[in-house]
């Protein structure tokens, strides 16, 4: 098996002639935290949507564990072990915290089409759900509806739900956006912890988080890769500084 868990070749996405993502060759090394950064509208979320098949590619190919997944359906991507989060926090609002996680856990039981079986058959998953809830510090909200949680806690819940699938690789789209200082610290610590056994590709605007967490950085501007490398190298690149200053990012 190669060093790279995820690879793209010439990844391109056009929206009615406008190239939102252009000829992107991305290589994510197994077991690392890889950050994808760039100004607003650079195409970061679009890359995520392409990788997880939420959008069909216009051109190019995607390899996951050396396997061509360009033609897969989005649900299959998760089954292969690559699970994404969303830029705007994605929870099941009227489910409790535990139910949110349980719905992720229940798929492997293979009873998800059993409409004749009682919901009680899912109670065996509560122990595992509660462990995950504790890991993200939400224990006291176990039975609270997700919609009533503060934003930072919703993000924590989202990560716990993602982890419930025990994915090999996580794609996190701006996990710390909209969070206060304390929450940022908590989420970064969580990502760091999680990355011990997994690969993470994340989009992140907060450069101190990027600096602290990531092993490799890819900078995207106007849909194409400007440069990639380690944080120290990339942050000194005048083109990167230019691209960020130009749109008001520090």
Partner 1 sequence: MVTTVAPVATVGRRSRAGLVLTIVLVALALIAPLLVYPVFLMKALCFALFACAFNLVAGYGGLLSFGHAAFFGSAGYVTAHAAKVWGFPTELAIVVGVLAGTVLGVVFGWIAIRRQGIYFAMVTLALSQMIYFYALQVPFTHGEDGIQAVPRGHLFGFIDLNQTMTMYYVVLAIFLIGFAIIFRTIHSPFGQVLKAIRENEPRAISLGYRTERYKLVAFILSAALSSLAGSTKSIVFQLASLTDVHWSTSGEVVLMSLIGGLGTVLGPVVGAVVLTTMENYLAQFGSWVTVIQGVIFVLCVLTLRSGIVGAIEDVLRRRSRRKAAPGV
Ligand X SMILES: Nc1ncnc2c1ncn2[C@@H]1O[C@H](COP(=O)(O)OP(=O)(O)OP(=O)(O)O)[C@@H](O)[C@H]1O
Interface residue list for Mg ion (CB under 5 A): 44-45, 87
Three-state secondary structure call for residue 130: helix
What's the closest the beta carbon of residue 224 comes to partner 1, in angstroms? 26
Which helix (DSSP H) or strand (DSSP E) does residue 210 occupy?
Answer: helix 207-213
Binds partner 1 by CB under 8 A, chosen from 116, 127, 248, 250: 116
**Contacts for 91-95: CB closer than 8 Å, 24+ residues apart:** 91/146, 91/147, 91/149, 91/154, 91/157, 91/158, 91/161, 92/146, 93/145, 93/146, 93/147, 94/145, 94/146, 94/147, 95/145, 95/146
Residue closest to 158 by CA, chosen among 193, 4, 170, 120:
170
The entry of Mg ion, partner 1, ligand X, none that residue 42 binds, CB within 5 to 8 Å by partner kind: ligand X
C-beta separation of 139 from 132 below 8 A: no
DSSP state of 134: H
Binds ligand X by CB under 6 A, chosen from 3, 10, 15, 76: 15
* Structure-token pair, residue 149: 């949680």
State in Å, rounded, how far the first CA of the chain is from the last one: 39
- Residues in contact with partner 1, total (CB under 8 A)? 45
Segment contacting ligand X by CB under 6 A, of 40-48, 88-96, 132-140, 191-199: 40-48
Binds partner 1 by CB under 8 A, chosen from 32, 52, 199, 206: 52
- DSSP-assigned letters across all residues of 66-118: TEE-TT--HHHHHHHTEEE--SS----TTSBHHHHHHHHHGGGGT-TT-TTS-
Three-state secondary structure call for residue 124: helix
Q: Is residue 88 a contact residue for ligand X (CB under 6 A)?
A: no
Q: Is residue 213 a contact residue for partner 1 (CB under 8 A)?
A: no
The entry of partner 1, ligand X, Mg ion, none that residue 15 binds, CB within 5 to 8 Å by partner kind: ligand X
Q: Is residue 87 a contact residue for partner 1 (CB under 8 A)?
A: no
Q: Is residue 74 a contact residue for partner 1 (CB under 8 A)?
A: yes
The entry of ligand X, Mg ion, partner 1, none that residue 54 binds, CB within 5 to 8 Å by partner kind: partner 1
Q: Would you say 177 or 235 has its CB closer to ligand X? A: 177
C-beta separation of 244 from 232 below 8 A: no
What's the closest the beta carbon of residue 52 comes to ligand X, in angstroms? 13
Contacts with partner 1, 121-140, as mask; x by CB under 8 A:
xx----------------xx
Segment contacting ligand X by CB under 6 A, of 44-52, 95-103, 113-121, 127-135: 44-52
- Residues in contact with ligand X, total (CB under 6 A)? 11
Q: Which residues bind partner 1 (CB under 8 A)?
A: 52, 54, 73-76, 78-79, 83-86, 90-96, 99, 102-104, 106-107, 109, 111-119, 121-122, 139-144, 161, 165
């Amino acid at each position: 098996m190669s060093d790279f868990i995820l690879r793209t070749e010439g990844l391109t996405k056009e929206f009615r002639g406008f190239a939102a993502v252009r000829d992107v060759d991305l290589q994510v090394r197994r077991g690392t935290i890889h950050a994808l950064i760039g100004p607003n509208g650079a195409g970061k979320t679009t890359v995520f949507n392409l990788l997880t098949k939420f959008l069909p590619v216009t051109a190019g190919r995607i390899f996951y564990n050396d396997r061509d997944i360009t033609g897969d359906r989005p649900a299959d991507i998760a089954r292969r072990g690559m699970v994404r989060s969303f830029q705007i926090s994605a929870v099941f609002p009227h489910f409790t915290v535990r139910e949110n996680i349980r719905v992720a856990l229940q798929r492997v039981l293979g009873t998800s089409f059993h409409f004749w079986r009682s919901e009680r058959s899912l109670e065996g998953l509560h122990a595992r759900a509660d462990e995950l809830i504790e890991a993200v510090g939400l224990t006291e909200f176990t039975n609270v509806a997700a919609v009533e949680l503060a934003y930072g806690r919703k993000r924590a819940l989202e990560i716990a739900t993602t982890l419930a699938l025990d994915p090999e690789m996580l794609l996190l789209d701006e996990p710390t956006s909209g969070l206060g200082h304390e929450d940022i610290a908590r989420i970064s610590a969580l990502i760091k912890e999680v990355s011990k056994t997994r690969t993470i590709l994340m989009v992140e605007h907060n450069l101190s988080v990027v600096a602290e967490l990531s092993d490799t950085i890819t900078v995207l501007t106007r849909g194409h890769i400007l440069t990639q490398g380690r944080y120290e190298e990339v942050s000194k690149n005048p083109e990167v500084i230019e691209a960020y200053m130009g749109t008001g990012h520090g």
